[in-house]
């Protein structure tokens, strides 16, 4: 048999001889996620405190970069955990925000 004849032949798939899988299950990670979130929130709240603190100072207390914590701070502000106010009036992107725990 040459190559041209092989290309012209019909190909039938092999039958599936594998055993059926057991019912798919997913691990319940809800409690673990809640624990991780509460630890993160308490860590941020301890670093901020109830006084007005600049973003840069919070980053220094957490040993992180200012840009890496800003998104999380905004998220906590939207959840109602933190309050924020601009450092300068009117707000200037370079001066940033003051934060405190409600």
Segment 51-85, tens digit of pLDDT: 999 999 999 999 999 889 999 999 999 999 999 99
Query: pTM for the whole thing?
Result: 0.68
Structure tokens at 43: 């860590």
Q: How does pLDDT run across 43-56, given as a tens digit for each residue?
A: 999 999 899 999 99
Q: Which domains does the chain have, with CATH numbers?
A: 34-102 (1.10.10.10)
Confidence band for 90, pLDDT divided at 50, 70 and 90: confident
Q: Where are the alpha helices (DSSP H) in 2-102?
A: 3-8, 30-48, 55-62, 66-79
């Amino acid at each position: 048999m040459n190559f041209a004849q092989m290309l012209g032949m019909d190909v039938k798939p092999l039958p599936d001889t594998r055993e059926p899988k057991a019912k798919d299950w997913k691990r319940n990670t809800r409690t673990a996620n809640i624990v991780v979130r509460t630890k993160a929130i308490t860590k941020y709240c301890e670093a901020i405190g109830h006084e007005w603190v600049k973003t840069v100072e919070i980053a220094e207390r957490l040993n992180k970069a200012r840009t890496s914590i800003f998104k999380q701070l905004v998220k906590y502000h939207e959840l109602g955990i933190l309050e924020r106010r601009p450092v300068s009036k009117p707000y200037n992107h370079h001066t940033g925000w003051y934060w405190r725990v409600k």
